[in-house]
């Protein structure tokens, strides 16, 4: 591969060094963001476990009190309210668990981006490797193997295999993801919940 013929300009050593520094900074920022996010999400998960236990206890106690409370009209309405509130709270927690799934996917994607940037910085930092077409092919294959989600694989295909622009690939993926979300919302939430 003749880079001079393919590209009208070539980066000098200083420009390559600066590019590598920017890539390394980006990698570090992504990794630190993931670490900070993981700490926050872990605290939220612990909180939700605690809340789930207490909701189950509230439901259990209210079920034990049901016969006594329903004998008196003034308590029956309180029992109904307590039961309804516990069910509503459990539903909201279900929605939060789905949001945690989104964070988990986001974290995985950012880790894949970080790995891709690290590999790119490694190739670009060696003059012989940057000119070796086999190195680039191996790098792309490593990136492809690192895709663990359907959307990542589709994005890879759009950009590398179909040569779509970033803008077009993002537009196509947004449309696909919106269609999938609409289909997913038609399903019952219990069908699709996985927490880490």
Closest-CA residue to 75 (of 87, 59, 62, 60): 62
CA distance 107 to 111: 6
pLDDT band at 39 (very low <50, low <70, confident <90, very high): confident
Collapsed DSSP state (helix, strand, coil) of residue 187: coil
Closest-CA residue to 11 (of 23, 22, 19): 19
Q: What is the dihedral of CA 58, 60, 61, 65, to 10 degrees?
A: 130
CA distance 51 to 62: 16
CA distance 16 to 26: 15
Boundaries of every domain in the chain: 3-148
Mean pLDDT of the residues in the chain: 83
Q: What is the pTM of this model?
A: 0.65
CA distance 59 to 57: 5
> Helix %, strand %, coil % for the chain, to 5?
85, 0, 15
pLDDT number for residue 175: 95
- Percentage of the residues of the chain whose pLDDT score is greater than 90: 14
């Amino acid at each position: 591969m003749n880079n001079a013929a393919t590209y009208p300009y070539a980066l000098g050593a200083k420009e390559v060094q600066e590019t590598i520094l920017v890539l390394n900074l980006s990698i570090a920022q992504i990794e630190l963001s993931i670490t900070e996010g993981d700490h926050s999400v872990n605290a939220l998960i612990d909180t939700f476990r605690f809340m789930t236990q207490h909701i189950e206890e509230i439901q259990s106690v209210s079920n034990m009190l049901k016969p006594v409370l329903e004998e008196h009209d003034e308590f029956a309405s309180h029992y109904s309210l307590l039961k309804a509130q516990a069910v509503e709270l459990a539903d909201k927690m279900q929605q939060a668990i789905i949001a945690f799934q989104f964070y988990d996917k986001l974290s995985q994607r950012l880790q894949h981006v970080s790995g891709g940037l690290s590999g790119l910085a490694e190739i670009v930092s060696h003059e012989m490797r940057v000119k070796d077409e086999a190195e680039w092919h191996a790098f792309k294959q490593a990136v492809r193997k690192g895709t663990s989600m359907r959307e990542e694989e589709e994005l890879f295909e759009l950009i590398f295999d179909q040569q779509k622009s970033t803008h077009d690939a993002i537009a196509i993926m947004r449309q696909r993801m919106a269609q999938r979300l609409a289909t997913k919302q038609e399903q019952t939430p219990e069908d699709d919940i996985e927490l880490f």
